[in-house]
Structure 1
Amino acid sequence: MKEKPSERPLNPRFSSGPCSKRPGWSLDSLGSCWHGRSHRAKGGKAKLAEVIEQSRKILGIPEDYRVGIVPASDTGAVEMALWSLLGPRGVDMLSWESFGKGWVTDVIKQLKLDDVRTFEADYGKLPDLSQVSWDRDVVFTWNGTTSGVRVPNGEWINSDRAGLSICDATSAAFAMPLPWDKLDVTTWSWQKVLGGEGAHGMIALSPRAVERLESHEPSWPMPKIFRLTKGGKLNESIFTGATINTPSMLCVEDALDSLQWAESVGGLEGLVGRCNANFAAISDWVSKSDWAAFLAEDVSTSSTTSVCLKVTADWFKALSDDAQAKAAKRLATLLEEENAALDIGAYRDAPAGLRIWAGATVETSDIELLLPWLDWAIEQVRTEFE
């Protein structure tokens, strides 16, 4: 039996959302919060506008793109895009994890669009991206948070496309370079790479997306929280600091704190570098492991933020599916009981295994201290299930 490691991660929070706060964060960081005042007052709008412009600056979003804060986290932002923009063209839906499957369900069963093609792949794989037609609108996730599989780059997206590219980038934004000239609609939330709080989403619209919004009126009723236009024109106020519903100004202040920290570590380049260093530490460990492997079958498509691992040990593979699920749950529970890693069980719909958040707010030193605990814990689980 392996000896229990003597050191634990200083921060055992490896949840894939909401994710760990930035290093050194405390409630004192929110001291200048705009509280007890209307978010529509001058000071409140200024805070919201600052989040928008700081996000634009760090992510490198072109000046002619509109960026706004919207309700209901990344899910709300994606739904807003689907309900507001789809309909004029056929739609190609790409899915290789649970959230992508959810967007497929919404488009087919809720919007009831007729001309929809779906390209799906099992966990660990990508669908064949070459099958996509850019004469159609295309909906996809950049990084599959629940599968640990991402698109390797934007080369597969046609620069001279007729349709819109609609990208759920919630666990990719601030962690992976995004080719903005290839993306017409991009969504994310504060709770992933920035380590912010939930319930607030962001959306970036290219000029082509704005043109679609102003030329297309959906045939279905539009809930208030999805309405991006007013009188047939883009509601510009959403993209200058106004919001459709009331935001939490505590969350706004926290987002500003995260963005200021992001600048302090080198902006986007620094954030990407931190994610890559975390992934490199895990990758080096995986290459030497006799029981763990990436869920992603092609390492070039493996996420550098939501790192999903499968158990490859013979004793584990010999278990029934139900027993594998119980063993993987026991593995995550044991790590939590030891305060070595919190919330690293695989997503409920994913294959049995582990999911380690390795985003920019996580220190590489904590990743390195976690890995021996994984080796220790799997041995404890093996004695219970073998």
Structure 2
Amino acid sequence: MPTQNCAFLAGQLLRAASFRRNQLNVSKRPSYSRNEAWIMIAAAEIANGEVAHTRPQSRPSSPCFSSGPCKKRPGYDLGQSLSDTPLGRSHRSSIGKAKLKEAIEETKRILGLPADYLVGIVPASDTGAVEMAMWNLLGPLPVDICHWESFGAGWYQDAVNHLKLPNVREFRASQYGELPDLSAVDAAEHDVVFTWNGTTSGVAVPNADWIPDVRRGLIICDATSAVFAMHIPWRKIDVLTYSWQKVLGGEAAHGMVILSPRAVERLESYTPPWPLPKIFRLTKKSKLDRTIFEGNVINTVSMLCVEDYLDALRWADSIGGLPALIERSRQNLAVLERWVKSRDWIEFLAGDERTRSCTSVCLRFTKIDREAVKRLTHLLEDEEVAFDIDSYREAPPGIRIWCGATVEAADLQLLTEWIDWAYSQLAPKDSV
């Protein structure tokens, strides 16, 4: 080995050894001298492309990186943010209806919806909103269902096993981290159901170019972890659903459904052959119940949750509206992209950066197994650095970090330093 290379390696070994000396007790290694022990540990780490990390001194201002319910907005104060809640008042009172109508109107304004699109508040979170759309609208045409994560797969099972639709085609990704071939979808003649952003896979559609402007069928989109963080071309979408607890960090149990005029036309011209539960009914006497889209909700809502959603909308408006929300999510993703690029032991589940989610960012460890990953996430939780970042149970061993607009980029930067430290504690004995 050339002399300069030996000198460089020796320097690397000594520097790595000095990092390790503060983390481990070498007096417990009696068979080696102190320097021999540190050099052996450092050499093993360098051979694996891993350099030991010192324990970070600063923690994120919030350890909440869960992909749902997600972090509350910056500066959120439980008392102040909800101080205007009409507690103890009926949702059908004048003040209750006014709050619900405000939530609908502000949603339309901030999202920049076409004037002829309708917004309604419905029961059972995003799941209820998607199933409401499927139970009311599917049946007249063949259906193409596209999925690349667990929830989208559930919509396919609903169509086949519960609605028992006769003409259903499935377009699924071959593995987590990929999209199916969307060019094969017949979005011109068939109804289509798809999830814009795969929360459990970290994969999002890059655009809606595969959906024609002129089409016979309806496009039903589950966009719960995309809307408010990604650009949605509204004229390509006939039904879009989401819930408050994702990008805006609201509370759970309530869903949102957005309808195009084409979706309304289907509702008023088609009656499904199966019975509809009361909480799914959007029509009366074969006409759309438009009062639902003015704040007259189907069942009792939590006015506390409504106020929390209004607070999130006001915050979104105060920072610059939809463009600012999208930019914050993109900048958050950029923090993790820079970090992953400089590490050889972690990678994005979505290998194609064009389909990479900027909200539910899913990462895969390449050198430690699932049990080691569990210990890593438990270590971060014990340190109160990151809560609830385990990957979905069916996904490859890894972590899932929420990067929606309510998360601060500075907190993500600090989180990466803690992940480096936690990994350095586990990798030497758990590398595979």
TM over 0.5: yes
| Cα distance between partner residues in 1 of 2:373 and 2:136 | 40
| Cα distance between partner residues in 2 of 1:35 and 1:179 | 37
| Cα distance between partner residues in 2 of 1:37 and 1:98 | 38
Say which of 77, 81, 91 aligns to 2:143.
91
| Cα distance between partner residues in 1 of 2:119 and 2:291 | 11
| Cα distance between partner residues in 2 of 1:235 and 1:211 | 13
**How many Å apart are 1:385 and its aligned residue?**
2.3
**How many Å apart are 1:384 and its aligned residue?**
4.3
What does 1:308-347 align with in structure 2 at a 5 Å threshold? 308-313=362-367, 316=368, 324-347=369-392
Structure 1 residue 24 and structure 2 residue 75: aligned?
yes
What amino acid is aligned across from residue 241 of structure 1 in structure 2?
G
- In the other structure, the counterpart of 1:321 is none
What amino acid is aligned across from residue 420 of structure 2 in structure 1?
D
- In the other structure, the counterpart of 1:125 is 178
What amino acid is aligned across from residue 23 of structure 1 in structure 2?
P
What amino acid is aligned across from residue 325 of structure 1 in structure 2?
R
| Cα distance between partner residues in 1 of 2:267 and 2:422 | 52
Structure 1 residue 355 and structure 2 residue 400: aligned?
yes
Runs of 4+ in 1 over 6 A off after TM superposition: none
- In the other structure, the counterpart of 1:189 is 243
- In the other structure, the counterpart of 2:53 is 2
What amino acid is aligned across from residue 246 of structure 2 in structure 1?
K
Structure 1 residue 136 and structure 2 residue 226: aligned?
no
* Equivalent position SS for 2:59: coil
- In the other structure, the counterpart of 2:422 is 377
| Cα distance between partner residues in 2 of 1:243 and 1:267 | 26
Structure 1 residue 233 and structure 2 residue 233: aligned?
no
Kindly indicate whether structure 1 or structure 2 has the higher relative contact order, using CA contacts under 8 Å at least 6 residues apart: 1
**How many Å apart are 1:330 and its aligned residue?**
1.5
| Cα distance between partner residues in 2 of 1:126 and 1:199 | 29
- In the other structure, the counterpart of 2:86 is 34
Structure 1 residue 79 and structure 2 residue 131: aligned?
yes
Structure 1 residue 66 and structure 2 residue 111: aligned?
no
What amino acid is aligned across from residue 193 of structure 2 in structure 1?
V
What does 1:257-276 align with in structure 2 at a 5 Å threshold? 257-276=311-330
Deviations 1:306-334, CA, capped at 9 Å, x for gaps: 00000123xx2xxxxxxx22122112111
**How many Å apart are 1:381 and its aligned residue?**
2.1
| Cα distance between partner residues in 1 of 2:235 and 2:206 | 16
* Equivalent position SS for 1:62: coil
| Cα distance between partner residues in 1 of 2:58 and 2:429 | 24
More moved, 342-351 vs 249-258: 342-351
- In the other structure, the counterpart of 2:22 is none
| Cα distance between partner residues in 1 of 2:259 and 2:394 | 31
* Equivalent position SS for 2:180: coil
| Cα distance between partner residues in 1 of 2:329 and 2:363 | 17
- In the other structure, the counterpart of 2:65 is 14
The CA RMSD over aligned residues, in Å, is 0.8
* Equivalent position SS for 1:272: helix
Structure 1 residue 112 and structure 2 residue 157: aligned?
no
What does 1:238-253 align with in structure 2 at a 5 Å threshold? 238-253=292-307
Give TM-score scaled by structure 2 length: 0.86
| Cα distance between partner residues in 2 of 1:381 and 1:201 | 41
**How many Å apart are 1:209 and its aligned residue?**
0.2
Structure possessing the higher radius of gyration over alpha carbons? 2
* Equivalent position SS for 1:256: helix
* Equivalent position SS for 1:173: coil
| Cα distance between partner residues in 2 of 1:231 and 1:350 | 45
- In the other structure, the counterpart of 2:413 is 368
* Equivalent position SS for 1:289: coil
| Cα distance between partner residues in 2 of 1:349 and 1:220 | 32
Structure 1 residue 301 and structure 2 residue 355: aligned?
yes
What amino acid is aligned across from residue 153 of structure 1 in structure 2?
N
| Cα distance between partner residues in 2 of 1:239 and 1:158 | 27
| Cα distance between partner residues in 2 of 1:160 and 1:119 | 22
| Cα distance between partner residues in 1 of 2:137 and 2:262 | 11
- In the other structure, the counterpart of 1:200 is 254
Say which of 264, 269, 272 aligns to 1:215.
269
| Cα distance between partner residues in 2 of 1:153 and 1:79 | 24
| Cα distance between partner residues in 2 of 1:214 and 1:83 | 14
Deviations 1:202-252, CA, capped at 9 Å, x for gaps: 000000000000111111110111101111000111000111110000000
Give TM-score scaled by structure 1 length: 0.96
| Cα distance between partner residues in 2 of 1:378 and 1:102 | 34
* Equivalent position SS for 1:118: strand
- In the other structure, the counterpart of 2:9 is none
| Cα distance between partner residues in 2 of 1:384 and 1:216 | 62
Q: How many aligned residue pairs are there?
A: 377
- In the other structure, the counterpart of 2:12 is none
* Equivalent position SS for 2:228: coil
